[in-house]
Amino acid sequence: MDDMKWDDTPIAAAARRAAQVLTPNALSLPRPEKPRHMTVANQKGGVGKTTSSVNLAAGLAINGLKVLVVDLDPQGNASTALGVDHRAGTPSSYELLIGECTAEQAMQQSTASENLFCIPATIDLAGAEIELVSMVRREYRLSDALRSPFIRDAGFDYVFIDCPPSLGLLTINAMTAVDEVLIPIQCEYYALEGVGQLLNNISMIRQHLNPNLHISAILLTMYDARTKLAEQVIGEVRQHFGEVVMRTKIPRSVKVSEAPGYSQTVLHYDPGSRGAMAYLDAARELAIRGDYLPDETSGAIGRPPLNKAK
């Protein structure tokens, strides 16, 4: 016992990681060669899509990178977790899509970090699908808004778009505005349910609307190491998708579930928790490994990157 190195114990490691989270810019991550725009998508609900969007964004921001989250889900859960105002009437992604405001007017700084910003979603967004139908460039409204000089000059390293769990004009707008798709998949029964349809939809969007769209990462969520099922699911997902699957797994965690109720990411709600540390590791992995780009044989699936972050 006397020879034990206390700084190597799990408690000490958790304390160190908590201190890093609570100290802005205590860590450093490579900046991408060009801004990475990424949609977090899965047509199956309850897989950790919004949770992953906000916590990956927070993890990158804590490390000194400048990040924007665009909430494109009418429920506004990402806006809640990032601590931004999203009451009805607040300038939001709805006004941005229909052309009533600019990205600069809709953007708010998150309470989570000085490097983290959010364009919130309000309940008004629920009717946007119908309004967009008759608009010019209806599939590219978000893309056009995010290509504004303000966004370009703001110096964002990452832009995450959190979209609803359905394929409609909101999700199509999200996928025409980015090059990368990150898919959260839960380590539970029916893990791949809906993923096949999502892959088909991504392929169709690549073919008709956005040829640069590809899957750059798959994140395994709700992992429970105590169950044999979780390992079976991981094996199946890795067999299907190969190296595009991230090595970091997000554990099932009460803290992760509780954090949005306090208008916080889990990284700020309980920075020493297993969930917070996992998302911090996932953010680091995402930044260090860079993009995964498609080749001729993989279709929408990525392959090891040609343009690693530097």
Over the stretch 185-221, which tens digit does the pLDDT of each residue have?
988 877 777 788 889 999 999 999 999 999 999 999 9
* Owning domain of residue 212: 30-293
**Residue 94 falls inside a structural domain:** yes
Per-residue pLDDT, 276 = 95
Q: Whole-prediction pTM value?
A: 0.89
Supply the pLDDT for residue 292: 81
pLDDT of 40 reads: 96
Q: What is the CATH number of the domain that holds 287?
A: 3.40.50.300
Whether 12 is covered by a domain: the verdict is: no
> Backbone phi, then psi, for 262, in 5-degree steps?
-110, 15
Predicted local confidence at residue 226, as pLDDT: 85
3-state SS string for the chain: CCCCCHHHCHHHHHHHHHHHHHCCCCCCCCCCCCCEEEEECCCCCCCCHHHHHHHHHHHHHHCCCCEEEEECCCCCHHHHHCCCCCCCCCCCHHHHHHCCCCHHHHCEECCCCCCEEEECCCHHHHHHHHHHCCCCCHHHHHHHHHCCHHHHHHCCCEEEEECCCCCCHHHHHHHHCCCEEEEEEECCCCCCCCHHHHHHHHHHHHHHCCCCCEEEEEEEEEECCCCHHHHHHHHHHHHHHHHHEEEEEEECCHHHHHHHHHCCCHHHHCCCCHHHHHHHHHHHHHHHHCCCEECCCCCCEEECCCCCCC
Domain for residue 9, yes or no? no
Residue 106, token pair as written in the block: 């809709």
Structure tokens at 35: 């801004």
Q: Is residue 13 part of a domain?
A: no
* 294 within 8 A of 208, measured Cβ to Cβ: no
The answer to whether residue 139 is domain-embedded is yes
* Residues of the chain below pLDDT 70: 1-27, 294-300, 302-310
**Which among 42, 25, 49, 70 is positioned nearest to 173, based on CA atoms?**
70
The answer to whether residue 24 sits within a structural domain is no
Direct distance between the N- and C-terminal alpha carbons of the chain, in angstroms, rounded to an integer? 43
Token representation of residue 233: 């699911």
CA 287: distance to chain centroid? 12
Query: Considering just the CA atoms, what is the radius of gyration of the chain in Å?
Result: 19
Q: What is the pLDDT of residue 62?
A: 94
pLDDT confidence of residue 16: 64
Instruction: Classify residue 198: in a domain, yes or no.
Output: yes
Residue 238, in any domain of the structure: yes
Domain count, the chain: 1
